[in-house]
Structure 1
Amino acid sequence: MVDPANSDAGDEVRARWLDGGRSSRTAVLSRAHDSWATLNMEDEVNANGVNERDLLPTRQRPPLLDGMPPKRKRKSAPPVIAVDRISNLPDHMLQHVISFLPAQAAVRTCMLARRWRHLWRSTSGLRIVGLHDKCYYYADVQELRKFVDHLLLLRERTDLDTVEIKFGEFSQDDRPYLNLWIRFVVMSKVRALTVHLDGSLFLYLDPLVSQHLRTLDLEGVGLEESVLDFASCTALEDLKMCRCDINAGRIASRSLKHLSIFGCRSDLDCRIHVSTPGLVSLNLADFAGKTPFLGNMALLERARVDLSDNCEDDCLNYDSGALCGANDNACAVCLDNNDGRSDCVILGGISNAKHLELLSEGGNATFIRDLKHCPTFSKLKTLLLNEYWCEAPGLDPLACILKNSPALEKLSLHLFSWGPSHKVEIKGSYGRVEEATAISEHLNIVEVKCNVVDEKVLKVLKFLCSFNIKTVSVIKVVDMSISSTLVSTSTNF
């Protein structure tokens, strides 16, 4: 065996071993460097989105580290391109959108772009209301008087579709300005006009003359007879009056279809005569003063009449549901001849309705007086009454109106419960019999809604039984403390 330490052969072996180790170390370092370069090249992407490693021939591509999967290519998010879709709309659509803004905000749109500079001048609507801290409120007329003057002066003379004018307090000096603004929009052929004033004074309007006005919504204004004669407003179909001071003996319109009088007042000694023969729907509620006289409404479909305690038609001798009209010493209210116009104040005018809600406070003599000459409700399908009709000792008012409603299909009684939620709801149906009865044979549903079944309610249920209304289909009890009372009631109703 050759001794490598003491021979030439050993020197040669030692040299080969050292050369081999250097080559091995060089190979390992080379492979590590190539792998590290490969990882870095994964993130180096040229301008065309191609990795530089992929550009190398297959044999020249540096190997990856053992056990390391190739890194996935990162997908860059698509560029976001802002598109101004609003500016692509035609001018008339932009003006329609601007018309929903308060006038102050509509004018400010002129700052958006050159194209928007004059769009506000030709909008189809105007909203003259207070604007403060991005909230709408009822501003005083004095705050906006100068602005509105310039607004109307700089507008193009284009037709208006809708106009809203809403203010809070105003002074006597402001009245000419308000009427001037209203006259301007009427001359601009406005179709829907809203005037709401929430001040301590009433604005008395000048007469309106328009062949284009279709909807008129008034609140907090004073109305004289020259204004409420709508002979010059031949297209008017919808009239709403809320908290208005009516200083007129007549409301007249042949074109009117929808009329609402809510919370209004009249200090006249005579009744206001409502002459609207083409009316389709009527809402008369919370009127202060003498109850208005309703003329014939042949086309009426739906009416709601709620006579509050503000009406000046209360029996002076009222006592627990009994009026003095049948007595020899009847009071002046019960003997009122309704200004000599007709036997009925309310019921005669609405006798053609298909759906009726008749509500009143106890002591009001209007309905009871009308029932002495009760008309026939030949078209009536649904009827809603409150406890006023059930307070008389013999429930004569309820019996009278039922007997004069031959086509009635549904009867609802809200007894001593204002709603809209009621603790007790009882539904019954009319049981037909062979012999003729005094009420409609078409009556299918009878509803009684109340808060508690007491003696007054039991009295009404027993009265309904006399008309063969017995079958109970639904009983809703919210307060379980009265369920025992309902159990005994349901067997008799």
Structure 2
Amino acid sequence: MAPRKKRKSAPPVIGVDRIGDLPDHMLHHVLSFLPAQAAVRTCMLARRWRHLWKSTTGLRIVGLNDPRYCVEVQQLRKFVDHLLILRERTDLETVEIKFSQFSEADMPYLNLWIRYAVMSKVRALTVHLDGEFILFLDPLVSQHLRTLDLEGVALEKSVLDFASCPALEDLKMGRCVINAGRISSRSLKHLIIFGCRSKLDRRIHVSIPGLVSLKLTNFAGKTPFLENMPLLERARVYLSNNSNEDCLNYYTRDLCADNDNACAICLANNDASGDCVLLGGISSARHLVLLSESAKATFTRDLKHCPTFTKLKTLLLNEYWCDAPDVDPLACILKNSPVLEKLTLQLFSWGPHHKVEMKGTYSPVEGTTAISKHLNIVEVKCNVVDERVVEVLKFLCAFNIRFSFE
């Protein structure tokens, strides 16, 4: 029997630094996702990492989201000041400044850090705070800024005039106090305003002719006046209880059907620029979601001068549009939507899951042009088919729309 051959022992495992083998520009990008404090600490990993943090493509100055870095502005002042001095003078792709707590004494530092970001040609700037921090960039000037995301910020006067930001395409404002009489931009394509409020006694004018998408929800104060947006593709507008424009006649069921009986809220425009506050500006959209609490006067007033939605393909409405004698608001908007293809009614149910969903089919009647002959999908979603829903179904059936339950 031949002697067994000795098995060769496996070579010792040697640790391989695969991340460290990446080229510098990729490591700069990776480090940009870390909070600034953590990015700087990587200088301790190895000789090669000693200065990488100085040239990251992103800068995150944060005091929330991650409990390991839950600190206040005051605790980071010296650190950030030294960081900005020691950084290489490279351009920044992204800058995030997020804090849940700050004081009035912190405001100069926050504004200084924002100015540093703008001077570093930042392309995407995010400022999320919990309070009414006043942004003092007056006005904002940047040839490179493409995305601006603001939350918990007080915006004054010409800060929202973006004439000096020709590359800006995306603007998001959440829970902000807007004390500017105008939001204007020639380059902006996407605008989101949610949970914001205005202390002004007049409407904020939104002048963005190149806008492609709009989301305006839960605005407190006078509803903003939307100027014409001919390139608009889709819009979502929700008038919540935060609005101070309740119809004074609503609860007496006198719904301001004509100007002789209309209340002061429904009659007043206070914009001196046209009859419609919202509908005129978004009348070129292809896809619309229009939601409102029951007593709001803005849409009611707009419907008195309802524009024609010449491009509208899909429309989602809630019960506000059906809760009136003869379902007048719904009838009006259908009459003025000549190419509508899909109508969705979400009645007394916010979803996303509805207990009852009905699909309808429309068969145009010869000689009848009351609604779009292109309408091929009608959906009604609710939690229960009560008397209010039945009235809406009867109204739709009058236009030869037949339903089936799912």
Q: Per the shorter chain, which TM-score range?
A: over 0.9
TM-score (norm 1): 0.79
- Using the alignment, how far apart are the partners of 2:181 and 2:384 within structure 1? 43
Aligned-partner residue type, residue 302 of structure 1? R
Aligned-partner residue type, residue 290 of structure 1? K
How do 1:184-223 and structure 2 match up within 5 A?
184-199=116-131, 201-207=132-138, 208-223=140-155
- Using the alignment, how far apart are the partners of 2:8 and 2:388 within structure 1? 79
How do 1:461-472 and structure 2 match up within 5 A?
461-472=393-404
Aligned-partner residue type, residue 100 of structure 1? F
Deviates further, 335-344 or 410-419? 335-344
Q: Which residue of 2 aligns with 1:295?
A: 227
What percent of counterpart residues are identical?
A: 76
Equivalent residue in structure 1 for 2:49, among 112, 116, 130 = 116
Q: Are the aligned partners of 1:431 and 1:471 in contact in 2 as well (CA < 8 Å)? A: no
Aligned-partner residue type, residue 186 of structure 1? V
- Using the alignment, how far apart are the partners of 1:346 and 1:77 within structure 2? 74
Equivalent residue in structure 2 for 1:234, among 166, 180, 196 = 166
Deviates further, 278-287 or 203-212? 203-212
Shift of 1:83: 2.4
Relative distance call for 1:172 and 1:158 in structure 2 (3 A) is same
Equivalent residue in structure 1 for 2:178, among 224, 237, 246 = 246
Q: Are the aligned partners of 2:63 and 2:73 in contact in 1 as well (CA < 8 Å)? A: no
Shift of 1:319: 2.1
How do 1:52-71 and structure 2 match up within 5 A?
none
Residue 397 of structure 1 aligns to a residue in which SS?
helix
Shift of 1:131: 6.9
1:440 aligned onto 2:372: yes
Residues matched between the structures, number: 405
Shift of 1:158: 0.6
Residue 143 of structure 1 aligns to a residue in which SS?
helix
Q: Which residue of 1 aligns with 2:327?
A: 395
Deviates further, 396-405 or 323-332? 323-332
Equivalent residue in structure 1 for 2:296, among 364, 373, 395 = 364
How do 1:89-488 and structure 2 match up within 5 A?
89-130=22-63, 135=67, 139-199=71-131, 201-207=132-138, 208-319=140-251, 322-324=254-256, 326=258, 328-472=260-404, 475-476=405-406
Deviates further, 204-213 or 303-312? 204-213
TM-score (norm 2): 0.96
- Using the alignment, how far apart are the partners of 1:297 and 1:266 within structure 2? 22
Higher RCO (CA-CA < 8 Å; seq separation 6+): 2
Residue 88 of structure 1 aligns to a residue in which SS?
coil
Deviates further, 168-177 or 178-187? 168-177
Shift of 1:129: 0.8
Equivalent residue in structure 2 for 1:88, among 21, 25, 29 = 21
Shift of 1:98: 0.7
Shift of 1:470: 1.1
Shift of 1:329: 4.4
Deviates further, 311-320 or 287-296? 311-320
Shift of 1:334: 1.1
Shift of 1:77: 5.0
Relative distance call for 1:321 and 1:403 in structure 2 (3 A) is farther
Gaps of 5+ in 1: 1-37, 50-73, 477-493
Aligned-partner residue type, residue 150 of structure 1? H
Deviates further, 156-165 or 168-177? 168-177
Q: Are the aligned partners of 2:64 and 2:98 in contact in 1 as well (CA < 8 Å)? A: no
More helix by proportion, 1 or 2? 1
Q: Are the aligned partners of 1:276 and 1:295 in contact in 2 as well (CA < 8 Å)? A: yes
Residue 29 of structure 2 aligns to a residue in which SS?
helix
- Using the alignment, how far apart are the partners of 1:326 and 1:409 within structure 2? 31
Aligned-partner residue type, residue 391 of structure 1? D
Residue 246 of structure 1 aligns to a residue in which SS?
strand
Shift of 1:321: 5.8
- Using the alignment, how far apart are the partners of 1:302 and 1:236 within structure 2? 19
Aligned-partner residue type, residue 123 of structure 2? R
Aligned-partner residue type, residue 375 of structure 1? P
Relative distance call for 1:310 and 1:108 in structure 2 (3 A) is same
- Using the alignment, how far apart are the partners of 2:233 and 2:128 within structure 1? 28
Gaps of 5+ in 2: none
- Using the alignment, how far apart are the partners of 2:252 and 2:68 within structure 1? 48
- Using the alignment, how far apart are the partners of 2:60 and 2:162 within structure 1? 25
Aligned-partner residue type, residue 301 of structure 1? E
Shift of 1:340: 1.7
Relative distance call for 1:153 and 1:325 in structure 2 (3 A) is farther
- Pairwise CA RMSD: 1.8
